Amino acid sequence: CERLNRYEFMFIVAPLRFKNATGSPTNPLAVF
What does the pLDDT profile of the chain (32 residues) look like in tens digits? 678 887 888 999 988 888 888 888 888 888 88
Residues 8, 21: Cα–Cα separation, whole Å? 34
Residue 1: the pLDDT is: 67
Residue 10: the pLDDT is: 92
CB 28 within 8 A of CB 11: yes
Residue 11: the pLDDT is: 93
CA 21 to chain centre: 21
Residue 5: the pLDDT is: 84
Residues 8, 31: Cα–Cα separation, whole Å? 9
Spell out the residues 6+ positions from residue 28 whose beta carbon is closer than 8 angstroms to its own: 11, 12, 13, 14
